[in-house]
Chain A
Amino acid sequence: MTGAMTILAQLLVCAGIFFLFMGAVGLVRFPDFYTRMHAASKCDTLGSLLLLVGLATYQGFDLASAKLLAIAVFIFFTSPTAAHAIARAAYTNRLPLWTRGEHE
């Protein structure tokens, strides 16, 4: 039982770091502010959520895992809010959009 839970926790943590790394790659590679925003905010939310839930699965059922789930819920609410505020700042200031054939 505990071995299966450890394997499940490791799979969740691996999925989390996959999403975190892909978010960073998208943040470097995409040509436009809005596309970078798209990569960074979603991959960051999902990646840290999966990683924290995986660590809570490994921890079992005690105070530390409850705090880990509290951090996960907090990130689940605040990260899209911060992304919305940043995108609103960019949209208000009319940041230029990417058009086809233009590099960087």
Chain B
Amino acid sequence: MPYTFLLVTSLTILLAVLLSLYRVVAGPSIIDRIIGVNVVGTKTIAVIVLTGYLFDRVEFFIDIAFLYALINFIGTLAFSRYFEQKGVENS
């Protein structure tokens, strides 16, 4: 796959990450922030795999991406269960 194509793809996803960070910063409630962080994490997995193709080290970066997917899932689940019981007021 051409280098320029991979670079443009990664930069487009990073622009989408920037758009999602707006929701993390300005979200009205804490749940909006959690879903923003979840979206950023899912996009980061794609960026990590594409970075592996850019640097020609795919088999290392894929393991990092798998670990990142695992941590993203566990973190989102923990945060949502915590705020489900604690309540979203005054937070």
- A: residues with CB less than 8 A from B are 6, 9-10, 13-14, 16-17, 20-21, 23-25, 27-28, 33, 36-37, 40-41, 44-45, 47-48, 51-52, 55, 58-59, 63-64, 67-68, 70-71, 74-75, 78-79, 81-83, 85-86, 88-90, 92-93, 95
Contacts and interface: CB of A to CB of B under 8 A. Distances in A.
Contacts of A70: 66
B84 A88 contact: yes
Prevailing SS type, chain B contact patch: helix
- For this complex, into which size category does the number of interface residues on chain B fall? 35 or more
Interface of B: 1, 5, 9, 12-13, 15-17, 19-20, 22-23, 28-29, 31-32, 34-36, 38-39, 42-43, 45-46, 49-50, 53, 58-59, 62-63, 65-66, 69-70, 72-73, 76-77, 80-81, 83-84, 87-89
B81 A9 contact: no
A6 B43 CA distance: 23
B69 A74 contact: yes
